[in-house]
Chain A
Amino acid sequence: MMQRRGFLTLGAAGLALAALPARAQTGVDPVPVLTNWYKLTLQLVRHTATYSPPVAARAFGYLGVIGYESVAACDPSLTSLAGQLNGLAPLPRPEAGAHDMAAVLQAALSTAVAHFFSNTGPSGQRAKATMTRTQDARVAEGLAPDVLARSTALGQAIAAHVIAWADADGGAVIENMGFPMTYVPKDDPSAWVPTSLIRQQQAPLLPGWGQIRPFAMPAGDTCALPPPPAYSEEPGSAFHAEAMEVYTTSKSLTAEQKLIARFWSDDPMLSSTPPGHWIFIANDLITRRGLSLSVSVDMMARLGIGMADAFIGCWQAKSEYNLLRPVTYIKRVIDPAWTPLINTPPFPEYPSGHSTVSGAAATVLTAVLGDGYAFDDHTHEREGMAPRRYDSFWQAADEAGISRLYGGIHFRAAIEQGLAQGRCIGAFAAGLRTLS
């Protein structure tokens, strides 16, 4: 396992050489290189208009793979994900000579962030340039020029390899922020209809996202769901009962329930989105708990992969069931004047995306850090919301799920089945061979 200032000497190129022992030296710690880029990425997700939750999850997936493979290229305790992830061919290997882990990671992540956030705004471009400049200088400090050049070349090559793989997944190009230019609602009372007065949101977000290439799960419909309760406007029907639960809950929300709804609201362009919320938690734990580099890159890779797959599976089901939102049903059947506590997202209801992604995240994080791993969630501290304490990742995931009912944007079935779907999808990421 690499320690501070990962510094490797390789006698010749080739897979066998990666097994040579690392020569640890004091110097630049690679871990902050990783966490600093993730901190910036969370801001870029919030401030880049195309970064809806599925798009953000995809980027976290690829950033995780790039970070992991950068370390795995030089650390024999890590197994490459090539051959384990759909369509990922073997990655570039180190050339002969010494490499510096921090420099490899810096080159790879700076290249990756530049690519995945090439469309961010002027402040994001400025922040990327500043981060690249300052971290380049930090990792170069005291490093022999040939080592720096070799390490930089390796990191850039790994990033380029993964980027080329990413470009072919079907999700690389996002137009009109992911909203089709036209949409004709289905002539079916159970069908989703737009719920927003925003003109751009009169079509469902990313209706084809369920068809893009997953990372670790075989296909978008691998973790298929049972259908939601049959649509009915009859009082006493299962569907009506679910809607009444949302309605009556909204009328008697406690302060704690309102807080939970807002804590997990994670709105696009106002936050780092639901997958960003889980990335924040993980990135924060790396620093607060002093996690090792290998554990950190493993966690960020499998977390990103699991969440990216979660959105693909979730969106496949959303498209298949195309269910209307609570606000549509409740206004139609129960109370025309009702409004939910939080904004209703502009896409079909079943299952709940936040539930699916949280189920996948909890599955992966539990696999990496263990069951009953207590932590404080500081995600929204800078926005004035106090940290929340959880006894396990699943406790947090369950709360994220039920927050959507408190917020009035999901029925219970979408939450429960979403969490179950996330557990199923997350198992593919959790099951990847990584740390030996």
Chain B
Amino acid sequence: MPQRIDALELLFVTGKGGTGKTTVAAATARYLAAKGLKVLLCEVDAKGELALAFDVTDPGFEPKEVAPGISLMSMDTESSLREYLRLYLKVPFVGSLGPLAKAFDFVATAAPGVKEILTVGKLCYEVRLHRYDVVVVDAPATGHIIGQLAAPQAINELVKVGLIRSQTEWMLDILSDPLRTGVMVVTTPEEMPVTETIELTASITAATTVALSAVVVNRVLPGRFSVREEEVFERLGAPSSVASLSARLGADLTEVFEGASLAVGLRKSRSQHLSRLREHIDSAVPLVLLPNLFEDHPPSATTQLLATSLELELEQ
């Protein structure tokens, strides 16, 4: 069994674009904070979506408390480099980085993995500092996450000596420890997201040293009709039946059945994709189902609702 989510020290939340990865990351932070844990929530690909979930704007590199028990920070590789240089090289940089910023731009462009290592490095550094009980990362989407998680290994292969080399060793220790670090993959019960999730979970295992903690299925519709119910639905939805039902109700149900058939079809196809996902994911890994929210809530309310669902699913 993978380590429980609430016992991890570093949790990466990833998934295909459009599945609600950021929302789930925010909900997870809320869930953990509600359990009394001190959470550092970190946005890696800053788009401000995570901040919206806490009704704040423009989070910086310095963590700021945005809700009880939750501090939010936005990853900025230049600030991360600055912090690193100050801590390890004792280079006292005051104020503007000047030419160093340009040098950084260059190094980051030229040397693959430098940006990734500064991101992962900062996250591992926070784990080591232990100012928080857990670091939750709104990590890059499917295409980029492997590069990021595998960065310390890649650097180890490329760089034979130097400070970075020695630094990657302790990062790997944290990342490779399944008791401390895990990845949560977010998906929706639709064809492409399910297919990508199956592929992603396989490559997390194959290409990185990080353990898979959970697969979260977002936007799950209420239960599908049984075969018998579906037959009843077909018969009741026939034009003559709709006409007589409408007459008895005193309201035209033609459009209602038309609209509902979309919902019935969606429930059916989504539950099929969900079964396919279940078949392909290691049964030891928890499959967490979050409901589809039909109402258009503000982001902070949405994440609170989903945090409650997460708790129900994980504590059952």
Check if A and B associate: no
A interface list, Cβ under 8 A from B: none
